[in-house]
């Protein structure tokens, strides 16, 4: 059984900070669950372009408001508490945070722990840290 506290995890190297977001990786590849689980904050007033070529992601909005724009077909979706979206086709997209967004995210395959987006907006297939 794996039990972790978000506040405690935020005080460790599980918290990864980038220019427009931060992500606390609660469950990683080393846990051997077949997915990783993260609580991610997107900073208010920012736009983040992402294209997870190597991963599938499901996202659930806990709090905040934003807009999700598909860069495949231009469709814009409102993001608000209770809304979920899944990038089931490695969808290239932009997430605009109107207010601070707190999101629960699941990745398949799981992240290793220290990944940040590369120049294309993707996470690499492998990384340097393997944690649980």
pLDDT digits (tens, 9 = 90+) for 69-108: 999 999 999 999 999 999 999 999 999 999 999 999 999 9
Check if the beta carbon of residue 27 is closer than 8 Å to that of residue 33.
yes
Q: Which of 41, 51, 58 minimizes the C-alpha distance to 103? A: 41
What pLDDT is recorded for position 122?
A: 63
Q: Which residues contact 76 (CB under 8 A, 6 or more apart)?
A: 67, 68, 69, 70
Q: Which has more confidence, 11 or 112?
A: 11
pLDDT digits (tens, 9 = 90+) for 18-57: 999 999 999 999 999 999 999 999 999 999 999 888 889 9
Domain boundaries, the chain: 19-108
Q: Give yes or no for residue 123 having a pLDDT over 90.
A: no
Best CATH choice for the domain 19-108 from the list 2.60.120.10, 2.40.480.10, 3.90.1170.50, 3.20.20.70: 2.60.120.10
């Amino acid at each position: 059984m794996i039990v972790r506290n978000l506040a405690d995890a935020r005080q460790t190297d599980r918290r990864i900070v980038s220019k427009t977001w931060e992500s606390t990786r609660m469950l990683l590849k080393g846990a051997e669950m077949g997915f990783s689980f993260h609580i991610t904050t997107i900073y208010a007033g920012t736009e983040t372009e992402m294209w997870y070529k190597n991963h599938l992601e499901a996202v659930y909005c806990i709090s905040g408001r934003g807009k999700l724009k598909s860069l495949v077909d231009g469709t814009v979706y409102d993001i608000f508490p209770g809304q979920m979206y899944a990038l089931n086709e490695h969808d290239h997209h932009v997430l605009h945070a109107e207010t601070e967004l707190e999101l629960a995210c699941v990745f398949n395959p799981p992240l290793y722990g220290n990944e940040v987006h590369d120049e294309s907006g993707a996470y690499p297939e492998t990384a340097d840290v393997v944690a649980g």
